[in-house]
Structure 1
């Protein structure tokens, strides 16, 4: 794939999960200021917080949305940029304080948005969904992550956020390194391992990875999903049945990660590496493969300049980590909840959604005809493959508020040799069950 432009695909037609979602009626969902009769909000300030890079697809799209918002309302935007990890750890306190932004990008899932919705830190957006028609713009797979019940479990209840892009994980590969070493694009897990062995034998570490942050955890989950079915996903994510932590799915994933470290497919140095470190290894042409998310796509198209980049879905699986993307939320302490809803609606306009796609994101409400670049179409095809098999299966850290750190910590121990695979699974089971046992009962 030639790195000519930063483009992506429309997600509006992508139906994925079979969950039936119904929006519950609600009381007024906030609002401290009356809408001016002439729509002129001059003198007002809207505080917007997000964690996207300036040159990322979302950063580009949100900047344009801010311009339109200021032009149309007369209000001023106070843009506050933060880091994903910083907001993940501080949101509960920040959103319930006098320093809360008026609207913020926030992570979806039971452990994040669901938890904050359950404790009343996020505004209920049911009335806004009805007013602006956002629900009609979202595929079921995307809307799943916007609704939470009274226990903070996704998939039913009221709306507490607005996803405006999608995401999923797949394999990025360096076509030049594949050609140099006589490696074909893998179409089975056996071919993945054969390719990795070829690179390892040549003294090249096959996979860019990080266990300090999310990449290795998502690879671990993909390996488990390759042995799983939808019942496993529902049990793990929605607590429908007990999860067998020594069963075939999780055992295969954990044992495979341990084997790949032993075989040199994954460096033991990943315990000290961030996701950014892993991404830069791939960008710089130091490793041939990187299993990660569509959020890297636009950046890679821009920054990979010394080799041809390819993308392919992980083979030998029906299920894939992915969901609607992060979403806009309105904190309960927002001083401008109505303006926040106006801004959110602007980000859902076809113009902004198309810009998101043309810049390397996965928009949820773009007209596919507006996005025609070959790089965009490549990702469309990849994403459609996943949706056609109802493959989106969320992310491994969603089930509990602390499981992101728990999973990374246990995998660090596995990579370091502090845990056997069985011991690692027992540790994960204890973390998981401490939170979900009562919910499942």
Structure 2
């Protein structure tokens, strides 16, 4: 992999030279006229929790760095995702930018030498103390670009996690209590089914079904499993717990009518809009829905953590990275540090986001406060287990196909586990070979 990546970098440099775009370095942060400049890119919406908070961080940065011009550009997610390597190695690139966490993105660029090692800054500025071990996983990458160990190449300042959204009005109507264990969850769903109501919305055509399967597996998992599955510490047996429990329980929930067979063709948006319309008692999905639900839902609703789990799907949000070609690295470090301050973390929290260092006492809205408290609880117990499709390239599509087969009952749990095991094992073997 290292040899191939060096060849890829050489080819990219050749493309840059051919197009007249040249790489540059240095830390003076000056443009051609000698003025000090910080070029900053991210792809969050202006009215999103992160967009609001980072606008304030830019304002503070300007106040504290008189004479420095901040050139902020909001980029499309796909623009950065598809062209990051070429862009950040050119004179047109930013000094600091938001980028996707994970092996195939930040990990790949770090292994190619395109990102600045932030380890010394993490220690100096206390980021290593602020972020829990599971949050640090997506900040650190080894020399092969595999997350979880090695040096710091990014810094997250917000988080995300999978939780259960529920319609309080429907729970009241049918006399259902909020469950605190998996057994109580099945009892609650039995009550809804008995009243002719499908209790749990999901989406087989996209990520939600995979996350539900993973949450069920995590009910029988520990950190050793997560490290083996996500970080390749030891081989994973797909026909043993916790993965077998996840597949068998998921299939059982479909047979019992907890999940509609029609969900096999549903997309995440279908699941979300059905919940917004008040048609679904519960969905299991990410904190990224929270802000939209808060804006659009007219009935009484709330959230609870997947009952009984100490591990939950989730991770840091995307990360701030400093390209190796940055001309203003010290300024970039200062900006990242500002986004970790209490006032910026509070802005994220009070606008429906999940700060990595948020103080619930500083959050005015009770629902917002609960969102932060639940995340802090998971993070404090090292309970972020990342996402089921992360381990190897292309695994998202493998899981979607497998879970659709469970929902429409075209394959048994054992057959689905066979189908998702081989691509995982082949992918891990390829990574380890290189």
Offset of residue 132 of structure 1 = 3.9
Number of aligned residue pairs: give it.
406
2:411 pairs with one of 419, 423, 434: 419
Whether 1:253 aligns to 2:230 is no
Give a deviation string over 1:345-367, Cα, whole Å, max 9, x none: 23222221111111122222345
Offset of residue 156 of structure 1 = 1.9
> So what's the TM-score if we normalise by structure 1?
0.81
2:375 pairs with one of 379, 383, 387: 383
1:157 pairs with one of 128, 136, 150: 150
CA contact (8 A) 2:355 2:372 kept: no
Give the 3-state SS of the residue equivalent to 2:137 in structure 1: helix
Pair 1:55–1:262, CA change in 2 (3 A): farther
Query: Which runs of structure 2 are paired with 1:6-21 in the superposition (5 Å)?
Result: none
CA contact (8 A) 1:111 1:399 kept: no
Offset of residue 234 of structure 1 = 1.7
Offset of residue 244 of structure 1 = 0.4
Q: Alpha carbon RMSD of aligned pairs, Å?
A: 3.1
Whether 1:211 aligns to 2:204 is yes
2:112 counterpart residue number: 119
1:307 counterpart residue number: 299
Give a deviation string over 1:93-140, Cα, whole Å, max 9, x none: 655567655433233233442233223343322344355443333233
Query: Which runs of structure 2 are paired with 1:191-340 in the superposition (5 Å)?
Result: 191-304=184-297, 306-332=298-324, 337-340=329-332
**Following the alignment from structure 1 to structure 2, what is the Cα–Cα distance between the partners of residues 287 and 364?**
30
**Following the alignment from structure 1 to structure 2, what is the Cα–Cα distance between the partners of residues 349 and 144?**
21
Unaligned runs of 5+ in 1: 1-29
CA contact (8 A) 1:66 1:77 kept: no
Give the 3-state SS of the residue equivalent to 2:234 in structure 1: coil
**Following the alignment from structure 1 to structure 2, what is the Cα–Cα distance between the partners of residues 272 and 95?**
39
Compare CA radii of gyration and give the structure with the larger one.
Answer: 2
Query: Which runs of structure 2 are paired with 1:71-220 in the superposition (5 Å)?
Result: 72-73=64-65, 74-83=68-77, 88=81, 91=84, 95=88, 100-130=93-123, 132-220=125-213
Give the 3-state SS of the residue equivalent to 1:248 in structure 2: coil
2:26 counterpart residue number: 32
CA contact (8 A) 2:28 2:327 kept: no
**Following the alignment from structure 1 to structure 2, what is the Cα–Cα distance between the partners of residues 288 and 421?**
26
1:13 counterpart residue number: none
Query: Which runs of structure 2 are paired with 1:60-79 in the superposition (5 Å)?
Result: 60-70=52-62, 72-73=64-65, 74-79=68-73
Pair 1:336–1:226, CA change in 2 (3 A): same
Pair 1:201–1:115, CA change in 2 (3 A): farther
CA contact (8 A) 1:241 1:440 kept: no
1:59 counterpart residue number: 51
**Following the alignment from structure 1 to structure 2, what is the Cα–Cα distance between the partners of residues 122 and 413?**
40
